[in-house]
Copies of this chain bind each other. A is one copy, B any other.
Amino acid sequence: MNPPNTDARRRHDPDVRSFASDNYAGVHPEVLAALALANGGHQVAYGDDVYTENLQGIIRDHFGATAEVFPVFNGTGANVVALQAVTDRWGAVVCAESAHINVDEGGAPERMGGLKLLTVPTPDGKLTPELIDRQAWGWADEHRAMPQVVSITQSTELGTLYTPDEIRVICEQAHARDMRVHVDGSRIANAAASLDMPMSAFTADIGVDILSLGGTKNGALSGEAVVVLNQDAVSHMKHLRKLSMQLHSKMRFVSVQLEALLAKDLWLRNARHANEMAQRLADGVRAVDGVRVLYPVQANAVFARLPHGVSERLQKRVRFYFWDEAAGDVRWMCSFDTTEADVDAFVAALEEEMAR
């Protein structure tokens, strides 16, 4: 490779990949190319640029004529902005105990958003009307934080999926209780690819009010957005985004990344590939004696239980994380750049370590 015209230096081997996280992957080359395209000259800062304006149209193509997009920095930011948007100061969020907003955001929803989370244990990361009803009550009781929104994750933190019908029922239930529905779509592309449906089929079309739309795990450098699907549910989104420290000054560069993903089918190609790699991986490890795959593999994650010592030896060869170290549960994530060879080598390594 020729030395590029920069004082920065390459410091890593671009051929090494792992199964630790879809955030370990880099940027898809087509997204990177888009950044260069949007560069040069001046564009109005803070979102009044032509790339962000154009993105509005792309989002409306995906989510319908009333959808509106607000690019933000990261998934936590998207979630906290979106949830503030659909709650009053006294509002609470019904979510799964395993929800990212509950376990993986350092308390940002509570501390930054002033949000109370009303959590429910689930077998597979998915809420149901029955589970929601365990927390959706007591609206008139001032001693209780008022349940105002149901937040679900699609695909879930456990690699499982809601069907559109399952989400529709949740929306009907929530709306009947004057509550809103938020989807944490950090991996919404993987869900759409797996369901083989447009993203709107399980969001805008069936009553979801607001969406955290993920781009980073789908191949962007850094690009997430809040997508408002129900304009009646929110107001002053720009103020909320700003005060939540999620306003990108040179927003054209976030918007053009989302354009690169969403204008045609890059988002889908990337997600489909990651899902296929997860299926290949699940098929491979299921064939290994002593390894149990834990949840339905419906997106780009594979959870498995295997002997603790095996995991630790395997981690020295390829990076991945324990999910529940005490139980011996591990998580393997595939991403847009995972190759068949990566998967096959990993399965082979697993077989070797199991055999030792």
Contacts and interface: CB of A to CB of B under 8 A. Distances in A.
A354 interface: no
A353 B110 CA distance: 45
A36 B243 CA distance: 32
A114 B84 CA distance: 13
Given A73-B245, A249-B216, A114 B111 contact: yes
A77 interface: yes
A61 to B, nearest CB: 13
A212 to B, nearest CB: 12
A92 B112 contact: no
B108 A221 contact: no
Contact of A112 (B14, B21, B49, B112): B112
A74 B245 contact: yes
A264 B7 contact: yes
A289 to B, nearest CB: 29
A37 B10 contact: yes
Nearest to A11: B50
Contacts of A247: 74, 76, 142
A297 to B, nearest CB: 21
Copies in the complex: 4
A219 to B, nearest CB: 10
A50 to B, nearest CB: 4
A241 B105 CA distance: 11
A241 B112 CA distance: 12
A332 to B, nearest CB: 13
Nearest to A13: B41
6 contacts: A9-B259, A10-B37, A23-B250, A73-B245, A76-B245, A222-B253
Interface of A: 4-18, 20-21, 23-27, 29-46, 49-51, 54, 73-77, 80, 84, 88-90, 92, 103-108, 110-112, 114-116, 119, 142-146, 216-217, 221-222, 235-236, 238-250, 252-254, 256, 259-260, 263-266, 319, 337
